[in-house]
Amino acid sequence: MFISIAQAQTAAPAGGSDSTLFSLLPLVLMFVVLYFIMIRPQMKKQKEHKAMVEAIAKGDEVVIAGGVLGRVSRLGESYLHVEVANGVELQVQRGSVAQVLPKGTFK
């Protein structure tokens, strides 16, 4: 009984490349939208932060990632010495600088 039904079924048409292309189109469009909404702005932000960190000079006033304000007193290859009060220096990594403030902000 089941064998006769199985033999009676016809095979799917062979020219289904158009339907495959159209089924992948939403996936490709989602990736393009994801790139322009999430990936590209994040890469731009990282590039700007890297340029800001490389441009830090002695005497710049900065905000460290923890929210501490200070003035750069010494520069190293990968570390900064930030003076947060008279005689109080913190040694931090360059990447932990969140923002460079305008001159005169930190007193």
Instruction: Give 10-66 pLDDT, tens digit per residue.
Output: 655 555 567 887 888 999 999 999 999 999 999 999 999 999 999 999 999 999 999
- Largest CA-CA distance found in the chain, in angstroms, rounded: 95
Going from the C-alpha of 83 to that of each of 69, 70, 92, the distances in angstroms are 9, 5, 11
The model's pTM is 0.70
As a whole number of angstroms, the distance between CA 96 and CA 23 comes to 45
Residue with the bigger pLDDT between 91 and 1: it is 91
Rounded CA-CA distance 62/68 in Å is: 8
pLDDT at 1: 56
